[in-house]
A and B are shown apart, each in its own frame.
Chain A
């Protein structure tokens, strides 16, 4: 079914920026929803938005992933640092045919701005949105900024579902055309209160999340406990769960992340392994490959979300080596550099 799925113009569309026809039972025009609903194991990744007004830089960064990922998250001022906006990155990527995921954080915008941006994103062809609380302003390079937090992620999910399903603003005012977005959120099963994280997942799904991308998983045992509860509660039938995977370049970076990046849990065993490795960078990628393979075996897991900040050029390598795509080749632009490279090699 893999080949037919990829070559059918009805499934993948013709002009890169054109919206695909919406399939029966789907909520968006997007390819990401199609991949998940077709039962494939999905791979997503994250693009670091440039500190620049240059659209070509966005496309250059995205091309690193060509042929290996089904969707690309465009972060929304992650770590409370200023970068090009998620909305703009998504619009640029959409025009080139990619399926970006619009990350929406509650930190910088109130309900008026968020609803407006959501309509704007859908009008620009964006098909996926990810609802996040957002990092604290104190974590970033503008700690003096005013944090907004008019919503939390759960209220944000509800709001997007109301815009899409009831075709109205929160105020009740009707929309002429509802934004057809595939709506997701995040979860962090690896930090306290560990026993209640599955309840938090249930709440997000009840609010209307249709897919979930987790925080970095470096601890398979915690994940197994979390997923078995999620399966028992029937949550994996209601939302597609993708597990966050990281590429660690060294023991030093890993320790630094553990200390300084909120919500990152890395067991000592992983840090020791990096410490003892002769080639830590290679070891970090091997760990990543192994984690992806292990995660894929866990019941209820429908994909991986690879976060490789400053290691983006290795995403293709780890995905390929892990074999999680089962030989499937995700969409890539016709003129992709990666494609010509693999074809000549």
Chain B
């Protein structure tokens, strides 16, 4: 992502405050507001990042390029099929999201995070809010945290 540095700053500035406020909101309202909150996240992140609401947001680790836009949904990319011009093997009209991710990460302060392994997503979380997950801290990193 070309504007990854700016996006990272914006994201780092905004995300914690969103998650912080949600922590409060969820305490007061329980799950009552989950639907509109999820819709707001889908709307905002969909507009900015073409977010697919995988429920396990990796944007800050992938150069602000959403890996779920990869037609093979690769979380540790790219695949070996990237075209010579950097376009996607499957969709020649789209820049490979992982070429964008490594490029974006190189401009970011915490860009090295892209070098860490992201284990396959939990498919039960598809369509759920990553914000709410963070707010409730139901981090289900049990698989990703296997001993290396």
In whole angstroms, what is the CA distance A186 to B81 when docked?
12
The interface size bin for chain A is 35 or more
B146 near A152 (CB under 8 angstroms)? no
Contact of A193 among B76, B78, B120 (CB under 8 A): B78
Question: A188: which B residues are within 8 A, CB to CB?
Answer: 80-82
Contact of A215 among B80, B117, B148 (CB under 8 A): B80
A170 near B76 (CB under 8 angstroms)? no
A154 near B99 (CB under 8 angstroms)? no
Query: Which chain B residue has the least Cβ–Cβ distance from A135?
Result: B81
A150 near B120 (CB under 8 angstroms)? yes
Instruction: Kindly supply a per-residue 1/0 record for chain A positions 247-268, scoring 1 wherever the CB is within 8 Å of any chain B CB and 0 otherwise.
Output: 0000000000000001101000
Interface size on B, residues (CB 8 A): 33
- Chain B residues 23 to 67 lying within 8 A of chain A, measured CB to CB, are none
A133 near B80 (CB under 8 angstroms)? yes
Contact of A150 among B98, B114, B123 (CB under 8 A): B123
Asked if A193 meets B89 with Cβ closer than 8 Å, knowing A133-B74, A154-B76, A154-B117, the reply is no
Question: B76: which A residues are within 8 A, CB to CB?
Answer: 152-155, 200, 203, 207
In whole angstroms, what is the CA distance A162 to B148 when docked?
10
Question: B89: which A residues are within 8 A, CB to CB?
Answer: 136, 262-263
Question: A106: which B residues are within 8 A, CB to CB?
Answer: 72
B115 near A203 (CB under 8 angstroms)? yes
In whole angstroms, what is the CA distance A291 to B119 when docked?
36
In the complex, whether A226 has a CB less than 8 A from a CB of chain B is no
Question: A265: which B residues are within 8 A, CB to CB?
Answer: 84
Dominant secondary structure at the B interface? loop
In the complex, whether B90 has a CB less than 8 A from a CB of chain A is yes
In whole angstroms, what is the CA distance A196 to B99 when docked?
9
B40–chain A nearest beta-carbon distance, Å: 29
In whole angstroms, what is the CA distance A262 to B88 when docked?
10
In whole angstroms, what is the CA distance A203 to B101 when docked?
15
Contact of A149 among B74, B83, B98 (CB under 8 A): B74
In the complex, whether A164 has a CB less than 8 A from a CB of chain B is no
A136 near B72 (CB under 8 angstroms)? yes
Question: A138: which B residues are within 8 A, CB to CB?
Answer: 90
Instruction: Kindly supply a per-residue 1/0 record for chain B positions 76-116, scoring 1 wherever the CB is within 8 Å of any chain A CB and 0 otherwise.
Output: 11111111111001100000101100110000000000110
A155 near B115 (CB under 8 angstroms)? no
In whole angstroms, what is the CA distance A262 to B72 when docked?
14
Contact of B99 among A151, A192, A203 (CB under 8 A): A192
B141–chain A nearest beta-carbon distance, Å: 13
B148 near A136 (CB under 8 angstroms)? no
Asked if A193 meets B72 with Cβ closer than 8 Å, knowing A133-B80, A263-B80, the reply is no
A111–chain B nearest beta-carbon distance, Å: 7
B103 near A193 (CB under 8 angstroms)? yes
Query: Which chain A residue has the least Cβ–Cβ distance from B96?
Result: A192
In the complex, whether B75 has a CB less than 8 A from a CB of chain A is yes
Question: A187: which B residues are within 8 A, CB to CB?
Answer: 80
In the complex, whether A199 has a CB less than 8 A from a CB of chain B is yes
B86 near A155 (CB under 8 angstroms)? no
Question: B83: which A residues are within 8 A, CB to CB?
Answer: 191-192, 262
In the complex, whether A147 has a CB less than 8 A from a CB of chain B is yes
Question: A111: which B residues are within 8 A, CB to CB?
Answer: 120
Instruction: Kindly supply a per-residue 1/0 record for chain A positions 185-229, scoring 1 wherever the CB is within 8 Å of any chain B CB and 0 otherwise.
Output: 011100111001001101100110000000100000000000000
In whole angstroms, what is the CA distance A215 to B148 when docked?
27
B79–chain A nearest beta-carbon distance, Å: 5
In the complex, whether B73 has a CB less than 8 A from a CB of chain A is yes
Residue in A152, A262, A265 with the greatest tally of chain B CB atoms within 10 Å: A152
B79 near A133 (CB under 8 angstroms)? yes
Contact of A152 among B71, B114, B120 (CB under 8 A): B120
In the complex, whether B18 has a CB less than 8 A from a CB of chain A is no
In the complex, whether A117 has a CB less than 8 A from a CB of chain B is no
Interface pairs (16), CB distance under 8 Å: A111-B120, A136-B81, A138-B90, A154-B118, A158-B119, A158-B146, A188-B82, A191-B80, A191-B83, A192-B96, A192-B99, A200-B77, A203-B115, A207-B76, A262-B81, A265-B84
Q: A152-B72, A153-B74 are in contact. List 20 more A-B contacts (CB 8 A).
A: A133-B79, A136-B71, A136-B90, A149-B73, A153-B79, A155-B119, A158-B117, A188-B81, A188-B82, A192-B82, A192-B84, A192-B86, A192-B96, A193-B98, A196-B102, A199-B102, A202-B115, A206-B117, A262-B80, A263-B80
Q: Which residues of B pack against A, CB within 8 Å?
A: 71-86, 89-90, 96, 98-99, 102-103, 114-115, 117-120, 123, 143, 146, 148
